[in-house]
């Protein structure tokens, strides 16, 4: 399977930052013997809170055009509306993506689809921030129905109510189900927005390859520590090339029913690890309050209720035995920490 590698900064900040990052990516990819298929950069940035860097806007498009002309690598940009599609076309940028925030607004997505109708644009559709597969597939369908030949999906994870180690919850079973339902559609992974942290990018990139994803979109910056947005998650072009060259590209099993169950198990393990850690932190806080108020650490009735919560799912004897052992361990550790 041919893989698609996309890399570039979160945002286009200056002509120099764009040209330097692109040149470093080209050199590093040549040294590592890999092909950079697209250079990415956001010209317009949607920020959660006011006051953040919202991108250089239209001014960035000539810088990106320069990358395209110098290195003969197509450039891709996020578009949030039809007007931005028009501006991209004007600067000969013919690959765009729909971001996760725009993805929750089908009216705007349809307007973007109308703007690229029957053109030679390549369109990538990121998953909407909410884990709604129908919405993601609906957005993809809008571009297929608009006659776009090259449509790809990008998995970048989902917003979660609680704070996790990863910035966005992977919920791997969703892109896997998309693959089952649309087997012809290339699906890429964006481990940068998934992880939110340069430390975890390569680990998630490898998970995506093992699941048989068709490529990666990775945020790379010539000076990550100086980035004006998504600073924590950007890696250098050199680190990017080393990471890509090291990936094990043999995808695991191709039996999709097994892949799907594995992805569900992986999500459960992610959640369990988050929850067990949060349980410990919360128990520590309870211990602190108890000490302050001189309340005994062990509260037998309270613990009986905890046990009941875990026993309600099934009366399978083997499972009950496991749960009792697990809870005993949890309880002992909780008491030990609170003391
Ligand atoms: C991006 O790729 O820069 C971006 C904003 O991504 P997302 O829409 O996935 O948050
Ligand atoms: Mn970003």
CA distances to 5, 15, 91, 181, 192 from 140, in Å: 20, 32, 25, 12, 22
Cβ proximity of 25 and 70 under 8 Å = no
Sequential DSSP letters for 234-247: -B-HHHHHHHHHH-
36: pLDDT strictly greater than 80: yes
Rounded to whole angstroms, the Cα distance separating 216 from 211 reads 12
Task: Name the residue of 79, 101, 231 whose CB sits within 8 Å of the most ligand 1 atoms, as the mutation to test its pocket.
Answer: 101
Ligand 2: distance of its center to the CA of 139 in Å? 21
Q: What's residue 302's pLDDT?
A: 84
Question: Both tokens of residue 187?
Answer: 């699906």
Residues in the ligand 1 pocket, defined by CB under 6 Å: 10, 42, 78, 99-101, 126, 156, 193
DSSP reduced 3-state for 163:
coil
CB atoms within 10 A of CB 189: 27
Instruction: Give, for 122, the enclosing helix (H) or strand (E).
Output: strand 122-126
Helix axes 173-181, 133-145, angle to 10 degrees: 40
- The radius of gyration of the chain's CA atoms, rounded to the nearest angstrom, is 23
One of 2.30.40.10, 3.90.79.10, 1.20.59.10, 3.40.1360.10 is the CATH number of 257-338, namely: 1.20.59.10
* Residues contacting residue 165 through CB under 8 Å, at least 6 positions apart: 200, 274
Rounded to whole angstroms, the Cα distance separating 201 from 85 reads 30
Comparing C-alpha atoms, which of 206, 207, 214 is closest to residue 244?
206
Domain boundaries, the chain: 4-252, 257-338
Fold entry, domain 4-252: TIM Barrel (3.20.20)
Predicted confidence (pLDDT) per residue in 223-282, tens digit: 999 999 999 999 999 999 999 999 999 877 778 889 899 999 988 998 899 899 999 999
CA distances to 8, 49, 58, 122 from 45, in Å: 14, 12, 12, 20
DSSP reduced 3-state for 216:
strand
Tokens 């048989």: give the residue: 212
CA distances to 126, 202, 204, 229, 316 from 160, in Å: 17, 22, 18, 21, 32
Task: Name the residue of 9, 156, 217, 219 whose CB sits within 8 Å of the most ligand 1 atoms, as the mutation to test its pocket.
Answer: 156
| Closest-lying ligand 1 atom to the alpha carbon of residue 156 | 9
Rounded to whole angstroms, the Cα distance separating 261 from 334 reads 32
Q: Which region holds residue 146: left if phi is over 0, alpha if psi is between -120 and 50, else beta?
A: alpha
The pLDDT > 90 percentage for the chain reads: 80
Query: pTM of the prediction?
Result: 0.91
Instruction: Give, for 18, the enclosing helix (H) or strand (E).
Output: helix 15-32
141-168 average pLDDT score: 95
Which own/partner contact pairs does 178-186 have at CB distance under 8 Å and 24+ positions apart? 178/133, 178/136, 178/137, 178/153, 179/212, 179/256, 180/256, 180/260, 181/137, 182/137, 182/140, 182/153, 185/140, 185/151, 185/152, 185/153, 186/4, 186/152, 186/153, 186/214, 186/215
Ligand 2: distance of its center to the CA of 154 in Å? 13
Whose C-alpha lies nearest to ligand 1, atom 6? 99
Q: What's residue 1's pLDDT?
A: 83
25: pLDDT strictly greater than 90: yes
Between 315 and 247, residue with greater pLDDT: 247
pLDDT band (50, 70, 90) for residue 48: confident
């Amino acid at each position: 399977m041919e893989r698609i590698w996309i890399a570039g900064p979160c945002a286009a900040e200056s002509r120099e930052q764009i040209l330097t990052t692109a040149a470093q990516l080209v050199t590093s990819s040549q040294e590592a013997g890999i092909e950079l298929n697209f250079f990415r950069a956001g010209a317009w940035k949607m920020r959660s809170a006011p006051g953040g860097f919202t991108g250089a806007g239209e001014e960035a498009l000539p810088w990106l055009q320069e990358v395209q002309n110098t290195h003969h690598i197509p450039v891709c940009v996020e578009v949030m509306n039809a007007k931005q599609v028009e501006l991209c076309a004007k600067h000969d940028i013919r690959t765009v993506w729909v971001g996760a925030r725009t993805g929750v607004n089908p009216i705007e997505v349809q307007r973007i689809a109308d703007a690229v109708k029957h053109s030679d644009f390549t369109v990538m559709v990121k998953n909407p921030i909410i884990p709604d597969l129908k919405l993601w597939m609906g957005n993809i369908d809008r571009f297929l129905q608009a006659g776009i030949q090259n449509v790809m999906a990008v998995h970048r994870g989902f917003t979660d109510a609680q704070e996790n180690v990863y910035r966005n919850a992977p919920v791997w079973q969703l892109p896997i189900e998309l693959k089952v339902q649309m087997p012809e559609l290339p699906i890429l992974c964006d481990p940068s927005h998934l992880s939110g942290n340069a430390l975890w990018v390569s680990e998630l990139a490898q998970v995506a390859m093992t699941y048989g994803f068709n490529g990666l979109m990775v945020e790379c910056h010539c000076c990550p520590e100086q980035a004006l947005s998504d600073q924590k998650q950007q890696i250098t072009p050199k680190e990017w090339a080393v990471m890509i060259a090291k990936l094990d590209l043999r995808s695991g099993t191709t039996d999709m029913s097994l892949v799907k169950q594995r992805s569900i198990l992986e999500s459960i393990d992610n959640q369990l690890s988050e929850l067990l850690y949060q349980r410990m932190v919360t128990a520590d806080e309870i211990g602190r309050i108890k000490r302050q108020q001189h309340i005994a650490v062990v509260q037998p009735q309270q613990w009986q209720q905890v046990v009941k919560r875990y026993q309600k799912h099934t009366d399978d004897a083997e499972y009950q035995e496991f749960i009792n052992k697990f809870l005993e361990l949890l309880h002992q550790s909780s008491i030990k920490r609170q003391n």
